[in-house]
């Protein structure tokens, strides 16, 4: 793999108002000298827009940040950004997220995750970049029985349209890497959480419900395990991967071997949902979000599995450790403590 120096480079981050995108941009400004970062986001109302505005306000404190409100499914807009700024590195995090929402709103996934990603690939073809890094998802492993999930495993059994679009992104990137020698790396994220995260994620949704005295539903009667990964660990992984580019080389036939790679970024430590809810509730009490005498048992309901869900996610992160010397390490308690403290400050 080739190393690239990000200092002084123009970097395009799609989905910059999103949870991972905003944290990545903040980190890049902290780490990289004379960085010029272009952010694009449609700032849609899939969840509370106040959170996206809060993240953007934080980012706009940086002089080198240029924000464009728009949709990557708009091909003319994407091309005009590449034409004007010629980014050296592109990180594609814009996507319609969420497994359950994909069951009721499939159109949003085709537009953002397929057409949008296609537009990014086409732009990288016509305005060559040094590295395209893009978000895939642990959901591509679908109903695979073998754990931990390895990037060597076959991923042909998606159980949601969201998962199918993410698998499609990997296939499209592979084809473009092969045909046009575009160095690309896909990152399969595992259940990302943290302060100012996504309200549709369990830890955030549970907190909102408990604060409002509503009942939380724990799926598969609590027999689900998730590889919860703290957002700072995800960002650390992205920043390292951005700097390590799959090498361009030709095969025996004289044609390019695709400069293409895929990695898992997960905590490598699945947590049972019931333990997760217990730790979350302890941290919410500690932060003063909930009272010390809060009756959790009265607000918990164990229910069957949801369509599109899987019983376990568990990342094999050996390849990431081998190639980039990095393994996520934030404990669930530390991460949920930071979330609970942020929630208290933002909402109360």
Catalytic residue among 162, 193, 314, 324: 162
Token look-up 């060597």 returns 152
For residues 155 and 144, the answer to whether their CB atoms sit within 8 Å is yes
For residues 137 and 166, the answer to whether their CB atoms sit within 8 Å is yes
Token look-up 């080739």 returns 2
> Which two three-digit tokens encode residue 142?
């679908």
For residues 9 and 18, the answer to whether their CB atoms sit within 8 Å is no
Provide the residue count of the chain.
348
Distance linking the first and last C-alpha atoms of the chain? 48
Q: Closest Cα to residue 23, out of 187, 239, 202?
A: 239
What string of DSSP letters covers 239-290? HHHHHEEPPPEE-TTSSEEP-EEEEEES-S--EEHHHHHHHHHHHHHHTTSS
Measure CA 160 to chain center: 17
Strand 300-302 relative to strand 229-230, pairing? unpaired
Q: Is 162 marked active-site?
A: yes
The Cα 3–Cα 325 span in angstroms is 14
Strand 216-218 relative to strand 300-302, pairing? parallel
Catalytic residues: 162
């Amino acid at each position: 793999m080739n190393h690239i120096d990000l200092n002084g480079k123009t970097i395009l981050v799609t989905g910059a108002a999103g949870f991972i995108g905003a944290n990545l941009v903040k980190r890049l400004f902290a780490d990289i000298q004379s960085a010029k970062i272009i952010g694009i986001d449609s700032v849609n109302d899939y969840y509370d827009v106040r959170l996206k505005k809060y993240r953007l306000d934080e980012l706009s404190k940086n002089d080198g940040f240029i924000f464009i409100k728009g949709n990557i499914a708009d091909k003319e807009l994407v091309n005009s950004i590449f034409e004007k700024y010629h980014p050296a590195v592109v990180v594609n995090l814009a996507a319609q997220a969420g497994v359950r929402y994909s069951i009721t709103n499939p159109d949003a996934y085709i537009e953002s995750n397929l057409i949008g990603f296609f537009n990014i690939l086409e732009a990288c073809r016509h305005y060559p970049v040094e590295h395209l890094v893009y978000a895939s998802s642990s959901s591509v492993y679908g109903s695979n029985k073998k754990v931990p999930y390895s990037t060597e495993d076959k991923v042909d059994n998606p159980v949601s349209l969201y998962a199918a679009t993410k698998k499609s992104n990997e296939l499209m990137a592979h084809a473009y890497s092969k045909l046009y020698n575009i160095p690309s790396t896909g990152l399969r994220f595992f259940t990302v959480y943290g302060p100012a995260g996504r309200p549709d994620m369990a830890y955030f949704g549970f907190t909102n419900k408990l604060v409002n005295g509503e009942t939380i539903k724990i799926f598969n009667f609590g027999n689900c395990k998730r590889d919860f990964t703290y957002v700072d660990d995800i960002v650390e992984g992205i920043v390292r991967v951005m700097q390590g580019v799959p090498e361009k080389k030709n095969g025996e036939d004289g044609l390019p071997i695709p400069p293409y790679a895929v990695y898992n970024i997960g905590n490598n430590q699945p947590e049972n949902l019931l333990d997760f809810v217990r730790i979350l509730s302890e941290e919410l009490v500690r932060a003063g979000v909930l009272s010390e005498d809060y009756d959790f048992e009265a607000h918990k309901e164990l229910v069957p599995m949801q369509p599109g869900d899987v019983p376990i996610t568990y990342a094999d992160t050996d390849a990431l450790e081998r190639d980039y010397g990095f393994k996520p390490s934030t404990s669930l308690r530390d991460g949920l403590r930071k979330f609970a403290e942020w929630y208290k400050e933002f909402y109360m």
